[in-house]
Structure 1
Amino acid sequence: MWRRLGTLVSRPAQNTRLCTSLPKHCSGRPISGGRATIFALSSGQGKCGVAVIRTSGPASGPALLGLTTLRTLPQPRVATLRLLQDPGSSELLDRGLILWFPGPHSFTGEDCAEFHVHGGPAVVSAVLGALGSIPGLRPAEAGEFTKRAFQNGKLSLTEVEGLGDLIHAETEAQRRQALRQLQGELGQLCHGWGDTLTTALAHLEAYIDFSEDDNIEEGVLEWVDRTVQELRGALLAHLQDARRGQRLRSGAHVVIAGPANAGKSSLINLLSRRPVAIVSPEPGTTRDVVESAVDIGGFPALLSDTAGIRDSQDLVEQEGVRRAHDRCGDPAVGPPLLTRARHRHHLQSCCEALGRYEQSKVRDLALAAEELRAARRHLGHLTGQAGADEILEVIFRDFCIGK
């Protein structure tokens, strides 16, 4: 028997540098050393009953103590009602709930604190100002809490995207799809494919290195070929999903087209439950494309009411008819059970690399092994195990401040 070779793909490792500059009340657990502690309002803007302000980083513990009269940190993950005060002037700010989440058992993997205060703008502003006066704290950037959770291995990149989709979900179907992705279903599928590629590559490298030593079992190369073919077939089948995942995420575009005065505007008003289009017995009332976003049985759709398709001497109506012909194009063309074009790109690139493996193995097994490594890298890019910085910035940029 021979020992399997190859480098395993692993999720981002947690930084294990210890916080040595904090007081004794610091948790002392593994955190990302050298980072500033961030804070932000995590609930919505404007007047509300309760506002949630959160912090993440090594100074979260001191910040929690600084805004309360506590001398020791409260029991983790237990809500406690306390008076909040300005750490500099001792001025009373509010009375609210505090929560302590020592790392690594927190959303970001770092020490975190939450302040549940009354949602008036003045209260929120005062608490945020008090946090900003504490050394080592700064306001969070958009998506920075989630970014730290990713960097500390608490979320994979596909789970991050699922979280973003869940925050922006407007229909029941979007919520269900986003929650499945947040729970890691797509990431687990990709990890399984990556493990298969890792095993196949290990077998191939062992065959290249030790085939002349009679230490390799018979049929190893045939097993690698069969595994690669089966994996490529599975990826191609997954790509042939009619882009359902991304259609659900972004919404189906439905064009209402037909002869003039056929009731198109009445239909879009009925489906929209409001008068979005002018209805008149006179033909040619609609001269431009009128759009309305609707929720149909939990599925998002963008309805487009168009001009009636007929011959007309009216130049304005002629332009409306031309635009109606443009909303009736090929439904297969457009934004891509993969929820983003990025997913489709990396899976397609992985398939192409596996196809090149078939061509390379007849010339040079070392080149064939390189194609398997390329295929594995694309899967790593998909899950964030080997992601480019610019792609990460685009993803986290779409998150709101405080998430």
Structure 2
Amino acid sequence: MTATDTIFAVSSGAPPAAIGVIRVSGPEAARAVEALAGRLPQPRRASLAQLRDSDGALLDEALVLWFPGERTATGEDLAEFHCHGGRAVLAAVERALAALPGLRAAQPGEFTRRAFANGRIDLAEAEGLADLLSAETELQRAAAISNASGALSRVVEGWRERLLGLSAQVEAALDFSDEEDAAGLPECFTWNIAALAEEIGEWLARPRSERLGEGFRVVLAGPPNAGKSSLFNALVESEAAITSPVAGTTRDVIERSVAIGGVPFTFVDTAGLREIGSDEIEAIGIERARGALGRADVVLWLGEEGLGPEGAWEIAARADAPDFAGKMTARHTVSAETGQGLAGLKEDLVGLARERLPRPGEAALNARQHARLSEAGRALEAAQGLSDLLLVGEELRRARVAFDALVGRATTEDMLDALFGRFCIGK
């Protein structure tokens, strides 16, 4: 398999469906259209055609689109067959394409990889597209589409242009450093580096995009029979945890991911916290519960008032119970049985999560991008403390290399394999 192969795949999702789109990309795309449709339609105009195999058998009546040249989604000749979306129809058209010389089925992410290789998108945009395809909540969609549309790439390109200007000033100062009337670096040079480093620092301080995938982590904690599992089930709106009046029913950490108000959450139900479990299994559950507290974004404390972890929300649960005792500092009073207070608790959690997670529509860095931008930031910080122009120039070069790696001007095949392997076939 090479980048010069002509590839094809269903790119409209799994059949059956009303319409099934088969995409073809590569140097043999025009010949593939002529072989199946009998003619090459006008570029970029949908044309109705009967698709036939090499024996002349009718496969389907479909709309055919032909996109020649470099200004296509993949940066090469591209065609699409908009067929009826039944499994048998799409399979028959794919068989006819596979029988043509020079054509083969596409690998996962291969269309997008060609778009990257041909300069139609950069690496940050490709990563945003991968996140967009896997987005399950409104916040994930908004952040992913910002990156996929090039928001981060445009910012990085602007930084790179400013950095090139600073590097040019250093080179000019070095070229004329032996002359008596050499002017040296302008007074604003150090300030400009500091300003660029500050902007990068602001981006590095933003919440990372992985938080959107993991969800805002809410841990319910307290002693046995405090109502944790009942509240957990009410929050995730399913009977995920077993509820019972018997102390120690929850023996392990139970997690469920849900979206509330377009915000991703991971709710965690834990074993009742007490000094000594009734048996070894419960003791393990209690230890895991304590570990879950350390990974929480917020803890809902259902135990005795004032005994929860620092910063925990005091929750007065089981408000419907005959023996209910409220809390003086309760942030919320709730009943999983009647639904009392649940809407207010959810609304409060959504508000907190929106403060901690990337803002809607704001581009967010993933782990790889954060690492590359951190390298650029460190290089700029180092440049500010140097007086030797050669060393300053080297630090600016390091920052530029980091920018190039971020958007994919410099990268490795292993990393590309890992990224594009996340895509489905046909994308």
Q: TM-score range by the shorter chain?
A: 0.7 to 0.9
Change (3 A) 1:227 1:331: farther
Aligned to 2:271: 307
Superposed CA offset, 1:310-362 (max 9, x none): 23232211111111111111558xx9963310011011111111222234x33
- Matched residue type, 1:85: R
Equivalent of residue 156 in structure 1, options 109, 116, 122: 122
Equivalent of residue 251 in structure 1, options 207, 212, 215: 215
CA contact under 8 A between 2:8 and 2:103: conserved in structure 1?
A: yes
Aligned to 1:358: 384
- Is 2:417 the partner of 1:393? yes
Aligned to 2:190: 225
C-alpha distance in 2 between matches for 1:120 and 1:193: 49
Question: When the two structures are aligned, how many residues end up with a matched partner?
Answer: 362
- Is 2:369 the partner of 1:343? yes
Aligned to 1:318: 283
- Is 2:22 the partner of 1:60? no
- Matched residue type, 1:350: A
Equivalent of residue 270 in structure 1, options 230, 234, 241: 234
- Is 2:63 the partner of 1:83? no
Superposed CA offset, 1:196-227 (max 9, x none): 111100111111112344676x4634332221
Aligned to 2:72: 106
Deviation of 1:49 (Å): 2.3
- Is 2:392 the partner of 1:368? yes
Q: CA RMSD in A?
A: 2.1
- Is 2:149 the partner of 1:183? yes
Deviation of 1:47 (Å): 2.3
Q: How does 1:5-84 map to 2 (within 5 A)?
A: 35-70=4-39, 73-84=40-51
CA contact under 8 A between 2:66 and 2:80: conserved in structure 1?
A: yes
CA contact under 8 A between 1:381 and 1:388: conserved in structure 2?
A: no
CA contact under 8 A between 1:194 and 1:376: conserved in structure 2?
A: yes
TM-score by structure 1 length? Answer: 0.85
CA contact under 8 A between 2:147 and 2:364: conserved in structure 1?
A: no
Equivalent of residue 291 in structure 1, options 242, 246, 255: 255
Deviation of 1:263 (Å): 1.8
CA contact under 8 A between 2:20 and 2:90: conserved in structure 1?
A: yes
TM-score by structure 2 length? Answer: 0.80
- Matched residue type, 1:391: M
Equivalent of residue 205 in structure 2, options 219, 226, 240: 240
CA contact under 8 A between 2:208 and 2:367: conserved in structure 1?
A: no
What secondary structure does 1:232 align onto?
A: helix
Equivalent of residue 134 in structure 1, options 91, 95, 100: 100
Superposed CA offset, 1:232-265 (max 9, x none): 1211122112x34331243223222222222221
**Unaligned 5+ runs, structure 2:** 298-356
What secondary structure does 1:49 align onto?
A: strand
Change (3 A) 1:65 1:214: farther
Superposed CA offset, 1:75-97 (max 9, x none): 222222221110x2111111222
Please identify runs of 4+ aligned residues in structure 1 that moved more than 4 A.
none
- Matched residue type, 1:386: A
**Unaligned 5+ runs, structure 1:** 1-32
